[in-house]
Amino acid sequence: MEKSVILDPIHGYIEFHELEQRLFDTPQMQRLRRIKQLGFSNLVYPGANHTRFEHSMGAMHLASLFLKIQNLDENVGESKLDEIVVSALLHDIGHGPFSHATEKLIENYTHKKHDDVFHLISKNEVGDVLKDFGFTPSKIAKHIAGDTPQSQILSSEIDVDKMDYLARDMHYTGVSSGSVDYMRLLNHMNYYEDKLVLSNNAIRAAESLLVSRYWMNSSVYYHHVSRISETMCSRACGRLLESGAIRPSDFSRLDDLGLMCVLRNADGFPGEIAERLDNRNLYKRALYDGLEVVGTGVFEHRKNIPRVEKEIAENAGVDPEYVMVDIPQKPELAEMKALIMDRTVKRLSDASPFVKVMETAQAGAWRMGVFSPKEHLEVVSKAAYDFFGISKKPKTKQFKLTELDY
């Protein structure tokens, strides 16, 4: 079968065949060229402009590499292997504009998660290509949703999706702490009783991946500027959807540029947020604290954040649009639950004392935020601290080196 190659900054030359080429060229895949992998993180890390398209190619490459390394043809069957490679390429086709910034909105309004893709690959150009090459779209959709044993290589605690996006995100942001030794992971990963397991020889590589994930969480994914800008975008888009200015199905198929055009042309709050995002005139932190300050009871407020925002705004005497609350999910490293095969099968967290230390570090890095424009910051800050029952921190006194007792 004739093959071509494309040069990738992470993996070097990536091989692909006619099937992949035709899938690359569908409108559904080309749309991913216009969706940034890291949403608004380029407001912090200017190089973070890589796309879901690049990542999809990388995940496809690693899935193909895994299958070649493990020589699974006899156990799984060649057609199943081809399905996994295709599924890896198509696994992000359901992401909306700015990736995670709009993910929850799309899920709420369409009742479909980003990995629920059957409607996106069945009756369009992607579906036509799949059928031309003898694939059943429903089977590909099941792999992408993680509903088959084979799909664990795409969707599990340590998978090709995480291996690629961590390596790729570190490269484009310049965050170099930790590393992703995907070759060692792929060489020491296999199926055991329909479960994807790592051999004992891959524990150090798994630990290194966890370190990478921790640093990316604290430095990039949960950087306050990223959280603020994504929250602003989400609230503006929510207003568009509530008002009926755009249909949810149309909204979910926009790319980054298309969404910004809609926001820029909108009146009122959405238009104001678009201008702020364009000029990096972001909301500021009225409250920004960790679990040791706010307590675990704060997670109860995740169920009704609009009510929290409204109450804080009323107490502060400002428009509800000027209060945004961001309570991330409970801090955890899913990779800790990866299965390790030694004499018995155990969790990575049980096989590595270092991983338990990482769990504590991850919890310590978690932050919740209340954000507001600079001109309302003081009153919103007071109202937010009062609402959550937190004693406001005294301002840090600046000191001089000459005051230190050497």
Domains of the chain and CATH, by start: 3-220 (1.10.3210.10), 224-331+364-387 (1.20.1250)
Dihedral angle of Cα 181, 186, 188, 191, to the nearest 10 degrees: 150
Q: Report pLDDT for 254.
A: 98
Whole-number pLDDT of residue 334: 85
279-295 confidence digits (pLDDT tens): 999 999 999 999 999 99
Contact between residue 297 and residue 244 where contact means Cβ atoms under 8 Å apart: no
pLDDT for position 74: 47
pLDDT of residue 80: 58
* pLDDT tens-digit map of 380-404: 999 999 999 998 765 555 556 555 5
The predicted pLDDT at position 342 comes to: 82
The per-residue pLDDT for 164 is 97
Tens of pLDDT along 191-200? 888 899 999 9
Distance CA 315, CA 326 (A): 18
Which pTM value belongs to this model? Answer: 0.92
* pLDDT < 50 positions in the chain: 73-78, 406
Question: Residue 23: what pLDDT?
Answer: 97
